[in-house]
Structure formats: C-alpha cells, structure tokens
Amino acid sequence: MKSETLLKMEEVSLAFGGIQVLDGISFEAKQGELLAVIGPNGAGKTSLLNCMSGFYRPQKGRIIFDGKDITGLPPHRIARMGVARTFQNIALYTGLTTVENILAARHMFFRSTALEAAFFLGRTLHEEVRHRRRCEEIMDFLEMQPLRDEVVGMLPYGLRKRVELARALALEPRILILDEPMAGMNLEEKRDMVRFILALMNLRHFTTVFIEHDMEVVMQIADRVIVLDFGKLIAEGSPDEMRANPRVISAYLGVE
C-alpha cells in the first residue's frame, strides 16, 4: 500500500449562495495511488476536483500539495507546481490540430522573450525543437501519431478525450486529475483509456485522482475509492469494501 501523502484535503467546504456543495471533506491521496471519486450526480465530485486545481476557492479548509498549502492559489500557479487535469466537458482548441493542442500546454516551459519568439531568434528554435520532441513522445505513447495533423474539432468524441489526456501529460504533472475520462466512450475506447492510465501508473508512478461512473472500471483499476453524497464524504476504502458498504449501496450503487 502507498504511504507517502502527496495531496491532502482538510475539512474543505464550498458553498454557492445557500447551496452547500462540499461539506467538511477530508482525505489523502498517496504517492503513486489511483484514487477514484464516485457518487451520484450532484454529489460534488467535479466541484472537489475544481478546488484541487484552483478553479474554485473553498470558503473553509485547506488543500495541501506536496507539503505546501495551495488553497486559493490560481490555476496557473497550481499547474506549475505539478497538478494537471482534464475536464468533464472537453476544453480543447477545436480549430487547432492535435499536435498544436498538446504543444499549447508546454507554454509555461518556454523561456524565450516575446521579441525572440516573434522573430524566431536566440533560444526560440532550440526550445521549439525540444518541446515538439516531447509532444511527439506523448503522441507515440498514446498511439496518436495518425491524429497529429488532424483538426481536433473534426475528431470523434473518444479521440478528443485522448487528446485532452495528452495535453495534461504535456504539463509534466506529479498528480493527474481526470474528470470522467471515459464518459461518452464506446467499449473499445474505454479499454484503450484504461490501458493508457494503467501504463502511466506503472511507468511514471503518477498519483491519479479520477471521477468515473462506470463501476466496473472503478472496481477493476482503483487502489482506493472515496464516495460523496450531497457534498459529504460518506465512505472511503478499497473497491471491495465500497462494494459491500451499505451506505454506498444505498446512495449510489443501488440495492439489487
């Protein structure tokens, strides 16, 4: 079992007006762990991920990443620290190609000045070559080379999801946050996505936090599961423990 804590949520609460979206959520994500977040629609799962990545700022509690308090930091600063995410509703540049979308994520690693970039001077060429090489490596890993020059807006939904994963990997993250990475996919596309996620875990030892509604996928690949219901964390443990937990069955899995 993983032991070193990479990310910790401490009594995190979030409300919009009179609606309590998250209510005192506390849990830890361990180094190299595949942590699933499940719960019925409206349970607060995406809001939880938005707090982790800086898109929402909780009114109470703390979020600790790698020993540093990141509560309330803007998303770009959190991304620079090694937190990358994908979105439930795909957020890609639909008019750009696959390789251009992935390269866009490398912008924060560029050190060229605006003048150097405008006239392609100095270190600009060296940086361009280095970052494009990294994009090619990611596309090779995700088996996307045939898509490299395809306009993303013309790709099927499942392949767009893969492009979004590639863009997140281009940020060189220490923790990967995936919001329903397999939503809308057919069976073959889901199998490919599971294969890529497990390969990342084995090769790069990412800490991964993901939301997923497909319980078969969750039970097969997750190291640990946390369950939300109406903004509260009602259970956490191994997939087998959650499968047998009466509160989880009542709130989400359903009674047969």
* CA–CA gap between residue 2 and residue 47 (Å, rounded): 26
Average per-residue pLDDT for the chain = 87
Q: Is 228 helix (H, G, I), strand (E, B) or coil?
A: strand
> What letters, b where the CB count within 10 A reaches 16 and e where it falls short, cover 88-117?
eeeebeeebbbbebbbebbeeeeebeeebe
For residues 5 and 253, give the distance between their C-alpha atoms in angstroms, rounded to a whole number.
28
Residues contacting 108, CB < 8 A, separation 6+:
76, 79, 80, 171
**Gap between the Cα atoms of 123 and 116, Å rounded:** 8
The structure's pTM equals 0.87
Q: Where in the chain is the domain with CATH 3.40.50.300?
A: 1-82+174-256
Angle at 9 between CA 218 and CA 105, to 5 degrees: 70
Distance (Å, rounded) from C-alpha 167 to C-alpha 98?
9
Longest Cα pair distance anywhere in the chain, in angstroms?
A: 66
pLDDT for res 249 = 82
Residue 32: pLDDT above 70?
yes
Name 28's bridge partners.
8
At residue 1, the pLDDT reads: 44
pLDDT of residue 254: 54
DSSP state of 55: S
The label of the residue with tokens 């395809």 reads 150
Which CATH fold topology does 1-82+174-256 show? Rossmann fold (3.40.50)
Backbone angles phi, psi at 201, to 5 degrees: -65, -40
How does DSSP assign 202-218, residue by residue?
Answer: HHH--EEEEE---HHHH
Average of pLDDT values for 27-43?
Answer: 92
Mean pLDDT of 90-94: 84
Burial label, 226 (beta-carbon count in 10 A; 0-12, 13-18, 19+): buried
pLDDT value at position 23? Answer: 96
pLDDT band at 247 (very low <50, low <70, confident <90, very high): confident
Residue keyed to tokens 């991920």: 49
Q: What's the average model confidence in pLDDT over 116-133?
A: 65
| For residues 52-63, average pLDDT | 95
Tell me the CB-side half-sphere exposure of residue 125, using CA atoms within 13 A: 4
CA angle 121, 127, 128 (to 5 degrees): 85
Q: Average pLDDT for residues 125-148, to the nearest whole number?
A: 85
Over residues 48-73, mean pLDDT:
95
Confidence of residue 117 (pLDDT cuts 50, 70, 90): low
Q: What's the pLDDT score for residue 221? A: 93
Predicted pLDDT of residue 243: 86
Distance of CA 145 to the CA centre of its chain: 22
pLDDT of residue 252: 66
Beta bridge partners of 178: 210
pLDDT of 91: 79
Assess whether pLDDT exceeds 80 at residue 195: yes
Best-predicted range by mean pLDDT (33-47, 122-136, 199-213, 241-255):
33-47
Classified as helix, coil or strand, 193 is: helix
Unique residue bearing structure tokens 């220490």: 174
Question: Residue 75 pLDDT more than 90?
Answer: yes
pLDDT in the model for residue 253: 55
